[in-house]
Structure 1
Amino acid sequence: MSLTLLTCTPVAPAPEPPAASYSRAAFGPGWADPDGDCLDTRAELLADLSTVPVTLAPSGCSVRHGRWIAPYTGQVVTEAGDLDIDHIVPLRYAWGHGAASWSAEKRARFALDPANLLPVTASANRSKGARGPLEWLPPDPGFQCQYVLRFRRIARAYGLVHTAAEERDLVALTGQICGA
């Protein structure tokens, strides 16, 4: 009787299907008006954060003028059109750190969460893009600590996932700029 030896060739596991690519639409339709007063999230935020009473457009549905201190730069801004509303934790950043697996409802809540929104100068918002604090910090050193702390608090509240190296570097950065 003859025995045949079988050899096993390891088979690589099937590759994971590619994660859905980022789309802003995955976070909902944009600025909403949940209370139905014709002022959307952007307008409500601008009205709430102005240091003086705001002037509305003739329609009453958008903010034209007020007085804001743009936190990333420290600049005083009086024209609402000169401001962008920034997601402290950018939507694309969140997508790559766990939001891709969230429900549509959670993504929409995240996109409209006032804790994650700031009126900032358009130039500061564009220079930041979708980067987190390990790649970008506000140009105003007086706001950097608050920015990093708020970024980390929001990321933690929503369960965003950082690698061990990212977490280590975020802790080190916080200590460096906050003096803790």
Structure 2
Amino acid sequence: MRTRSGARGTVAVALAAVLALGVGGCEVSLDEPEAPPSSAGNVGEQLAELTVAKAGSMRGYSRERFPHWRDTGTNCDVRDSVLKRDGEDIRLSGCNVVAGHWESVYDGRTFTDPSDVDVDHMVPLANAWRSGANEWDDAKRGDFANDLTRPQLIAVSATSNRAKGDQDPSQWKPANRSYWCKYAESWVTVKHHWRLTVTSAEKAALSDMLEGCTWANKP
């Protein structure tokens, strides 16, 4: 009579044989890597998926329609969070950023005084208004204006931020050309997530900026 331990041994041998041969006699490898993730989310495909439309009206726009900066702690807000994230050697008073070291990727300038640094909205609020945000309620516009998840907020020099204004990449690009790939990628990522439109000139400029970026995987 077959013992219980002998039965278990037989099952184990059979299982090993199945794993070695695979279902239907096909070889399988337990060490075979998983298939790479789909590239459906790459920036080139995201750019292709953006809706092209004429810029909308500025009627009814004001920055107050995009409530910011939200509180992120006692006497601390989203601006402090960005300054802390994007800087080095940060000094705090409570949770307020009072000193540090920042390099503006738009123009390569460096700063140690946070008052000389602006937190830029990658896709400016007025541009968002003209490309679909005018149809949102103020709560959603607030989510957009305080978005710390997407690359929508970045600490840069005040002069570069003000030179940019509400212009899109067909009208303004960072003086630092080495940042163009990242700038275009970030712009596309934000517009794609928030389902904002682009003008034909804006889309062409983004495509040109991504042209030399081998990682962009343009379709």
Which is bigger in relative contact order (C-alpha 8 A, separation at least 6)? 2
1:111 and 2:149 equivalent? no
1:125 to 161, 175, 178: 161
Bigger-Rg structure (1/2): 2
Question: What letter matches 1:82 in structure 2?
Answer: D
Q: Percent identity among equivalent residues?
A: 35
Alignment gaps of 5+ in structure 2: 1-56
1:25 and 2:59 equivalent? no
- Counterpart of 1:178 in structure 2 is 213
| CA offsets 1:60-100 (integer angstroms, 9 cap, x no match) | 25212111111101222111111011001000000000000
- Counterpart of 1:6 in structure 2 is none
2:77 to 40, 61, 66: 40
- Counterpart of 1:5 in structure 2 is none
- Counterpart of 2:39 in structure 1 is none
How far apart are residue 170 of structure 1 and its match?
2.8
Alignment gaps of 5+ in structure 1: 1-17
SS of alignment partner, residue 184 of structure 2: helix
| CA offsets 1:120-151 (integer angstroms, 9 cap, x no match) | 10100111000011111101111111101100
How far apart are residue 41 of structure 1 and its match?
0.7
1:26-105 matches, within 5 Å, as: 26-28=65-67, 30-34=68-72, 36-52=73-89, 54-57=90-93, 60-105=94-139
Distance 1:168 1:124 in 2: 23
Distance 1:19 1:132 in 2: 15
Alpha-carbon RMSD: 1.9
Give the TM-score, by structure 1 length. Answer: 0.79
1:142 and 2:178 equivalent? yes
Distance 2:157 2:92 in 1: 19
Distance 1:92 1:140 in 2: 24
Give the TM-score, by structure 2 length. Answer: 0.66
Distance 1:66 1:55 in 2: 6
